[in-house]
Structure 1
């Protein structure tokens, strides 16, 4: 028979966290009083503190912020954004519209950054095992294609011949490397992937936003699984802004296309139901 004290201790241990400590009149995040954090650290620094447990250097915080800024939006043709707008016209609240949008940020739409980080991590493991970078990239790409198909996440873009965001992000990462804030290892890996893909395809397949943010998040030491979470934090800003804009514009039950543009029906021609016995 458990004592009352045993039951209380079991209940207290049910949720164990190192993230936050709350008592009446007191809130501490990773040991820092919340009143000391407010007004003294930025939102990207707070994200880092919450996820990583410590405070980033100014250079690390700047890189994280740059990656978050770069991926906030890509227009209403992006499925997650259009879903948020359609949801609003169905009469739901902003939080429901945002949740509907975030829920489609999965492997195909929204998952490329995490997947690219997984490729970079595989390359890094092979380099640690003694493979030169070129061979490590070749082997990692072969392994990815064998398991997932020919599309290499983080490279090429269906809309942009050259993604205007990636060059700026890489330049910032290289500047941080020159200051000793990051190692530059994943910059080299990302550029080598680009070179290998160009050799394989016979044309340049430039790094896109997902490949560039994957470089930054990997340089900053984030696990690949966190890559998608960080992307969702970033894209949620665009989702919110589009949902709010649609709310202000009004409209009822807007579908993916104007009603003047029909869908394609490919089923049987109109027919009568056979006589029933």
Structure 2
């Protein structure tokens, strides 16, 4: 049976990855540039290289309390190997944790050819219908996601030009006008805008999140396996029992 791929080819003396020799990648490329090449099929520009590295760093960890971190630790505490625990953490990613990037990319791509007034009108209609504005709002950061602020500063430093970042002000302004409070762009939303600037397809959004977050899951699993007692469980004081009133 013949299989076809444009990703890589192994020969006796080298490996070709997206048209580049692995030997040259080892000698001359940064790891994050090689990741960019692997998933997109092209070498990033200097500005893209800088920002891609920054966004991966920005999502490397967000505490032990996230869904993926806790899932990783609970899986490890059951006596599973490190890779099984990390895999469990990855499998816990979904629409509400890690998956918002993909949805936000679809949203921003659909707005790309529209002028600011048209985007503001769409946002108003979405709010009226109580539809989700993907990439905005955060459980912890109510007024501003500091990671967004840091990355935007880095974008300015390296002169990275975004064709999507203007949507941030449009959405935040319209939301405050209609709701009287702030709904800040979150890191998923900014990542989505940047990945749209890279011309990545939305399906890669969750993949990029996985690449950035897995190092943290490895660390969580390792710490759980080496520093904690087996079999985590919630304390009964943390569980509120709700009797079945129908019985």
Same fold (TM over 0.5): yes
Give me the whole-angstrom Cα distance separating, in 2, the residues matched to 1:113 and 1:238: 19
1:158 alignment counterpart:
139
Corresponding position of 1:135:
118
User: Does the Cα contact within 8 Å between 1:89 and 1:247 map onto a contact in 2?
Assistant: yes
Pair 141,229 (structure 1): closer, same or farther in 2 beyond 3 Å: farther
**Residue 54 of structure 2 is aligned with which of 66, 71, 74?**
66
- Normalising by the residue count of structure 2, what TM-score does the alignment of the two structures yield? 0.91
8 Å contact kept, 2:14–2:23 = no
Counterpart mapping for 1:246-261 below 5 A: 246-255=224-233, 257=234, 259=235, 261=237
- Structure 1 residues 238 and 250 mapped into 2: Cα distance closer, same or farther (>3 Å)? same
The verdict on how the C-alpha distance between 1:237 and 1:54 changes in structure 2, with shifts beyond 3 A counting, is: same
What is the distance in 2 between the residues matched to 1:96 and 1:145?
44
Match in the other structure for 1:212: 190
Aligned length: 245
Q: In the superposition, relative to structure 1, how do residues 241 and 141 fare at CA in structure 2: closer, same or farther (>3 Å)? A: farther
The alpha-carbon deviation at position 262 of structure 1 amounts to 4.1
Q: Tell me the SS of whatever aligns to 1:28.
A: strand
Please report how far the alpha carbon of residue 172 of structure 1 lies from its aligned counterpart in structure 2 after TM superposition. 2.2
SS at match of 1:206: coil
C-alpha distance in structure 2 between counterparts of 1:143 and 1:205, whole Å: 14
Q: Report Cα offsets for 1:166-218 as digits up to 9, x if no partner.
A: 11112223444xx3x43x22111222222222222211111111112122212
RMSD between superposed Cα atoms in Å: 2.1
Q: Mark the runs of 5 or more structure 1 residues left unpaired by the alignment.
A: 1-10, 272-277
Query: What secondary structure, in the 3-state scheme, does the structure 2 residue paired with 1:261 have?
Result: helix
**Given the superposition, is the C-alpha separation of residues 133 and 175 from structure 1 closer, same or farther in structure 2, using an over 3 Å criterion?**
farther
Instruction: Report deviation, 1:117.
Output: 1.5
Matching of residues 1-277 of structure 1 within 5 Å:
11-12=1-2, 15-125=3-113, 127=114, 132-139=115-122, 142=125, 149-161=130-142, 162-176=144-158, 179=159, 181-182=160-161, 184-255=162-233, 257=234, 259=235, 261-268=237-244
CA-CA distance at 1:231 after TM superposition: 0.7
Give the secondary-structure state (helix, strand or coil) at the position aligned to 2:203: helix
SS at match of 2:16: strand
Query: Structure 2: which 5+ residue stretches go unaligned?
Result: none
What secondary structure, in the 3-state scheme, does the structure 2 residue paired with 1:108 have? coil
* Equivalent residues of 2:103, 2:134 under 8 A apart: yes
